[in-house]
A and B are shown apart, each in its own frame.
Chain A
Amino acid sequence: DTGVSQNPRHKITKRGQNVTFRCDPISEHNRLYWYRQTLGQGPEFLTYFQNEAQLEKSRLLSDRFSAERPKGSFSTLEIQRTEQGDSAMYLCASSLGASGRPNTDTQYFGPGTRLTVL
């Protein structure tokens, strides 16, 4: 068990550029989650996958955001036409869930990718 890994750990970009983050979950975990955390705030849920299916998306996930988990293993989060308001820590988590919904799952978090939009 190597834990959840995220790459890159830091990303600085200029406004209007596209960025992509990668998350590698714990290998046997079937569920994967993305969150956003800004300074002084708790994590805000963005979306989650069960295997390769994206089952829920927050209203925070605007049209500029897209997430994929094509083979049910790693996931990518892309932000198009970045804005300064996108500057935040993007967290990924994974869990192994047997029941229908992840509401009681124990989630394991990665260290995050810190995005700075200039």
Chain B
Amino acid sequence: AQSVTQLGSHVSVSEGALVLLRCNYSSSVPPYLFWYVQYPNQGLQLLLKYTTGATLVKGINGFEAEFKKSETSFHLTKPSAHMSDAAEYFCAVSPSSGGSYIPTFGRGTSLIVHP
């Protein structure tokens, strides 16, 4: 069975500061990994995903994430936070082997950006 843990239900940063949102997974085989953002009253939007290849993945809006197999992590970063980055962020995994497709989402981290 796979699972996702997002450390910190809320993360607060100042505008211009580094954003770091943590995601760890548990899976018998390294899964495919995703980060989504959800703005109020809107649907989830894919920020980036890791399937194969380079472990540092660049996404939209200046975000990037690095897959670290040894740490079973896929943390999301952005060098400089903007006020518009304030939203809910979800890490998700889907199986990379076996016949099933059932994705698992983390509980989400709310990013608060202070002026």
Nearest-CB distance from B9 to chain A (Å)? 8
Contact between chains at B43 and A56 (CB < 8 Å): no
Per-residue 0/1 for A9-48: is the Cβ within 8 Å of any B Cβ (1 yes, 0 no)?
A: 0000000000000000000000000000000111111001
Report the separation of the CA atoms of residues A45 and B102 in the bound assembly, to the nearest whole angstrom.
7
Stretch from B14-22, B69-77, B79-87, B92-100 contacting the other chain: B92-100
The reply on B106 being an interface residue by CB < 8 A is: yes
Q: A91-B44, A111-B41 are in contact. Are A103 and B96 (CB under 8 A)?
A: yes
Report the separation of the CA atoms of residues A48 and B32 in the bound assembly, to the nearest whole angstrom.
18
Chain A residues near B104 (CB-CB < 8 A): 45
Q: A43-B90, A110-B43, A111-B41 are in contact. Are A103 and B105 (CB under 8 A)?
A: no
Report the separation of the CA atoms of residues A99 and B44 in the bound assembly, to the nearest whole angstrom.
23
Partner of A106, one of B41, B49, B107: B49
Contact between chains at A58 and B102 (CB < 8 Å): yes
Which residue of chain A lies nearest to B38 when distances are taken between CB atoms in the complex? A109
Chain A residues near B96 (CB-CB < 8 A): 103
Contact between chains at B51 and A104 (CB < 8 Å): yes
The reply on A54 being an interface residue by CB < 8 A is: no
**Dominant SS among interface residues on chain A:** loop
Which residue of chain B lies nearest to A109 when distances are taken between CB atoms in the complex? B43
Interface residues of B in 17-73 (CB under 8 A from A): 32, 36, 41-46, 49, 51
Chain B residues near A41 (CB-CB < 8 A): 107-108
Q: A56-B100, A101-B101 are in contact. Are A42 and B90 (CB under 8 A)?
A: yes
Report B's interface with A, CB cutoff 8 A: 4, 9, 32, 36, 41-46, 49, 51, 90, 92, 94-96, 100-108
Report A's interface with B, CB cutoff 8 A: 3-4, 40-45, 48, 55-56, 58, 91, 93, 101-104, 106-112
